[in-house]
Structure 1
Amino acid sequence: MSVIVSQLFTGVSIGAVLLLIALGLALTFGQMNVINMAHGEFIMAGAYTVYVLQQSISSAGASLLIALPVSFAVTGLMGVILEVLLIRRLYARPLDTLLVTWGVSLILQQAARDIFGAPNVQTSAPSFLTGSVQITDDIVIASSRLFILGLALAAVAALMIVLKTTSLGRRIRAVVQNRDLAAVSGLATGRVDRLTFFIGSGLAGIAGVALTLIGPIGPAMGTNIIVNAFLVVVVGGIGQLKGTVIVAFVLGILQSMVEYATTVSVASVIVFVAIVAFLQWRPQGLFTLRTRSLA
């Protein structure tokens, strides 16, 4: 029983990382139907923001806390620039957005190599996140993982509050459900698109800050995680935030359980096969957007 509980906690911590990575993508891909292959590079930019701040701020704790809003603003502005210059011309051609943003991702990777160098760099974790919390005699959880879990839940809560209770959230939902009707009703859909991309890209920066606590930073770090983020969003259901949350934790727990019984490589293969099997049975994902239709 202690092993099962320990693996559940490990799975939840993995799911929290997946959730943070996929949350911004759930907004830009799920809500706007834009396949942003540069999302991983936005995460990389958020991680490098921590590295840059630590060069000028000696306190690791202060630099991490300052990096959260700064990385949100930096990557959010990157997303707005991408939307204004390229994405706004391709809303009716989602496959073209894949190709264009993939090219942007390669440019951003090379820019990171030119600025910071090709080798990975490491940031310092604050002292209050270097230890661990002992739940029971057999279960010990790293403080950094608990911080990431709290950060993921706070990001989800903030995003849901924005989407459900604010005028911006109502405008975003109106554009998602019927862009043409929202436009003829007087909504400035272009402004809504830019704000949505700002929020989604800013969340990628927050994910980048979290990832500095569990591994090194490198120009290719976004490439290694973008596939998992897309899988979480697709399996959860396009445009369904609750599906993204549920699937992130389910996949994290499944990965942890299978990895304990086998190896990391075998666990990744089994999880991927399970995802493919689920999508064969339910291609629309766990949840679908309810619409009125005469069909």
Structure 2
Amino acid sequence: MSELMLTLFNGASLGSILLLIALGLAITFGLMNVINMAHGELIMIGAYVTYVMQNLFISYLPSQYFDFYFILAIPVALLVAAGFGMIMEFSLIRFLYKRPLDSLLATWGVGLMLQQLARSIFGAPNVGVKSPSFLNGGLEVGTLLLPYSRLFILGLSITCLIGIYYYFYRTASGRRVRAVMQNRQMAECLGVSTRKVDLLTFAIGSGFAGVAGCAITLLGAIGPALGTSYIIDAFMVVVVGGVGALFGAVAGAFGIGFFNTAFEYLTNASIGKVLIFLLIIAFLQWRPSGLVTSRSRSLD
């Protein structure tokens, strides 16, 4: 029973990490149909922002305030990554809407440039980010020890999901975004500024990538190539969940997390990764549109 509980927790933990990584991509790719291959580099930016905040607190503030650096790094990473996203959208992406292959190549090039920029500023070797003291150790549940860092990432992903849901479904600005994504021409006829909506939506997706990068620093060292190890998983979650469906991304992230953990427990890490890819291929043969299908009059 303890092994089963630990496997379930590991699956939920991996699913929360995948969800946090894929939330931003679910907006830029799922809602805007932009294949943003630089999403991983936006995650990297969030991670390096956390590293810079750590060094600033170490250099300029007393040691008793050190733990606050991580709490402050989360909104700062969101804003910095959103700023990079706005620059990308204004200077490049806005010319490539409805041109998916062009956007793929262009954002891939942007990602390579951001990686080289990170190497020039921080160096090629990986750097470490020290966790705040309140995230050290774990919660004892019977014979199990649940790490506080994993529990924090789980809570952060749920908080981000609630924030996105509230914005898109409970605010006037979010309703305008959904209107533009479902029927751009009708939204323009009703006076919605689609250019502002595009800019804001891409910035929001990029900002949540920065938050994911901040959380990933709790899992290990970070480096310029950090994003390349997560971009495939992020696209996998969005495609399995259903393009344009936020709650599909939730189901896809936790489903992949649980199955991946189960396969690794029954076999090993390498074979488990192969099995999860085979399972996804088989699933997409059965449901090519993913778990959740978005329907609107413009699609019909």
TM-score range (shorter-chain normalised) is over 0.9
Q: Tell me the distance in 1 between the aligned counterparts of 2:247 and 2:67.
A: 31
Q: How far has the Cα of 1:173 moved from its partner?
A: 0.4
Q: Which residue of 1 aligns with 2:260?
A: 255
Q: Which residue of 1 aligns with 2:285?
A: 280
Q: Tell me the distance in 2 between the aligned counterparts of 1:181 and 1:70.
A: 36
Q: Structure 1 counterpart of 2:163, which letter?
A: A
Q: Structure 1 counterpart of 2:120, which letter?
A: D
Q: Tell me the distance in 2 between the aligned counterparts of 1:169 and 1:30.
A: 15
Q: Which of the numbers 120, 123, 139 marks the counterpart of 2:126?
A: 120
Structure 2 gaps of 5+ residues are 59-64
Q: Which residue of 2 aligns with 1:158?
A: 163
SS for the counterpart of 1:186 is: coil
* CA-to-aligned-CA distance 1:167-203 (integer Å, 9 cap, x gap): 1110110011011211122110000011101111000
Q: Structure 2 counterpart of 1:107, which letter?
A: M
- Aligned pair 1:66/2:90, yes or no? no
**8 Å contact kept, 1:60–1:124:** no
Q: How far has the Cα of 1:294 moved from its partner?
A: 9.5
Give RMSD over aligned pairs: 1.1
- Aligned pair 1:217/2:214, yes or no? no
Alignment of 1:126-275 (within 5 A): 126-137=132-143, 139-275=144-280
- Aligned pair 1:2/2:2, yes or no? yes
Q: Structure 2 counterpart of 1:65, which letter?
A: I
Q: Tell me the distance in 1 between the aligned counterparts of 2:28 and 2:297.
A: 23
SS for the counterpart of 1:140 is: strand
Q: Which residue of 1 aligns with 2:57?
A: 57
Structure 1 gaps of 5+ residues are none
**8 Å contact kept, 2:183–2:298:** no
Alignment of 1:21-40 (within 5 A): 21-40=21-40
Q: How far has the Cα of 1:60 moved from its partner?
A: 4.0
- Residues 115-124 or 57-66, more deviating: 57-66
Q: Which residue of 2 aligns with 1:107?
A: 113
SS for the counterpart of 2:164 is: helix
Q: How far has the Cα of 1:26 moved from its partner?
A: 0.2
SS for the counterpart of 2:67 is: helix
Normalising by structure 1, report the TM-score. 0.98
**8 Å contact kept, 1:68–1:206:** yes
Q: Tell me the distance in 2 between the aligned counterparts of 1:5 and 1:201.
A: 34
Percent identity (aligned): 54
Q: How far has the Cα of 1:149 moved from its partner?
A: 0.2
SS for the counterpart of 1:57 is: helix
* CA-to-aligned-CA distance 1:253-279 (integer Å, 9 cap, x gap): 111111111111111110011011101
Following TM superposition, the consecutive aligned residue runs of length 4 or more in structure 1 with deviations greater than 6 angstroms are none
Q: How many residues align?
A: 294
Q: Tell me the distance in 1 between the aligned counterparts of 2:299 and 2:114.
A: 45
Q: How far has the Cα of 1:23 moved from its partner?
A: 0.3
Q: Tell me the distance in 2 between the aligned counterparts of 1:236 and 1:106.
A: 28
Q: How far has the Cα of 1:293 moved from its partner?
A: 6.7
Q: How far has the Cα of 1:136 moved from its partner?
A: 1.8
